[in-house]
Amino acid sequence: MRVLSGMRPTGRLHLGHYFGVIKNWVELQEGHETFFMVADWHALTTAYKKSEEIPKNVEEMLIDWIALGIDPNKSVIFQQSKVKEHAELFLIFSMITPKSWLEWNPTYKDTKYNILKLVDLDLMFKGGLRDHVKTFVAKLPYKVEDFEALEEHLLDNITEALIHALFEGYLDKEILKELNVSKRDFYDTDTYGFLGYPVLQAVDILIYKAEAVPVGEDQLPHVELSREIARRFNGLYGDTFPEPQALLTETPRLPGTDGRKMSKSYNNAIYFADTEEEVRKKVMSFFTDPQKLRKGDPGRPHLCPVFFYHKFLTYPYRLEEIENDCKSGKLGCVDCKRLMLEGLENLLKPLRERREEIYKNKRNLPDIIESGTKKAREIAIKTMEEVRQKLKVG
């Protein structure tokens, strides 16, 4: 079975990337024909103002991919922008895709605002946003009955709320100054390219006639859209594209140092490129059960991100013991974090060494990407010959 997946180059990978995506890719390499794409054109949809950062991010991401087990001898590793046929098929698919399919794509509206984010989200919290919520609410053109509920909602949906507030003009310049943010800190995604990015995703899959795409639940609508575009093309011009299936992968959301989802934007991630000392500092600063203040206090492990790591990563075989000792107070959080650090280092040390090795030989990376891209391009060229023939244009 031919499987295709890709990742936007956003730089160094963290533990969350590994457990959310790469681990699954490594498993898929065995027994499937796997294509892994560096989606650098997709990176432009949100980072077009900083395009000069993309090549460095591509390099960092590739080093991590290979260090984590993506094997160029087993998989086709290629770069989207080097296969220009993607652009041609994108144009053709754009002609046959109804605008409403994109506008009604359930993830579009949410993503439009969620992806608009502050360069450093923590600035907002440090800036004391809570203190300003009242001022913000007072400026709303409607009466607010339940201020507390609104405040909670805003703080839960902080990015979206700020974006709305900023662009609707409800936040004045003084508040923005205090929050240390400006319009420049937001990525502007009100573009044709952003609306159309699921069409480009459909191209990425269909141009290789991939039969399966590994995705999380939130990506299912995009695979469905690819299937619809394939059906529409096949219906108009004759059978050309197989309808790709979604390979749904359930992965636990790895918490970062502050307990929120691990993410570069939250500045709470542990990177594979981190030194042992950097990992130690991050682990020892991990959020834990706030009610367990000192050794002896009974803890609530099911609420604690450190326990999450023990469960899924570091000590699944000692879980009962850790759980009981946390609950009884026998185990203190500092010792528990030391355990986590020890377990994490067992995993990270060999990966870090491998990463350093690949980094030293990074002059080989262009050859790896060129060789994969050559294989990808051959297939894309063949598909496009068939498409032009069926279309009778081009």
Write out the residues near ligand SF4 by the rule CB under 6 A. Answer: 288-289, 292, 299, 301, 304, 306-307, 326, 331, 333, 336-337
Q: How far apart are CA 189 and CA 200, in angstroms?
A: 16
Task: Indicate the residue among 56 and 302 with the shorter CB distance to ligand SF4.
Answer: 302
Task: Indicate the residue among 179 and 333 with the shorter CB distance to ligand SF4.
Answer: 333
Q: What stretch of H or E contains 173?
A: helix 173-179
Dihedral angle of Cα 273, 278, 279, 283, to the nearest 10 degrees = -150
Task: Indicate the residue among 180 and 285 with the shorter CB distance to ligand SF4.
Answer: 285
CB of 164 to ligand SF4, least distance (A): 36
CB of 255 to ligand SF4, least distance (A): 11
Q: How far apart are CA 67 and CA 273, in angstroms?
A: 10
CB of 334 to ligand SF4, least distance (A): 8
Contacts of 196 (CB under 8 A, 6+ apart): 90, 94, 102
Strand ordering across the sheet containing 2-7: 75-79, 33-38, 2-7, 212-215, 245-248
What number of other Cβ atoms are within 10 A of residue 74's Cβ?
15
CB of 313 to ligand SF4, least distance (A): 13
Tokens found for residue 336: 């528990």
Nearest to 339 by CA among 350, 325, 353, 352: 325
CB of 253 to ligand SF4, least distance (A): 17
Task: Indicate the residue among 77 and 326 with the shorter CB distance to ligand SF4.
Answer: 326
CB of 386 to ligand SF4, least distance (A): 57
Q: How far apart are CA 29 and CA 61, in angstroms?
A: 18
Q: How far apart are CA 207 and CA 89, in angstroms?
A: 8
Task: Indicate the residue among 227 and 282 with the shorter CB distance to ligand SF4.
Answer: 282
Task: Indicate the residue among 227 and 292 with the shorter CB distance to ligand SF4.
Answer: 292
What 3-state class would DSSP assign to 28? helix
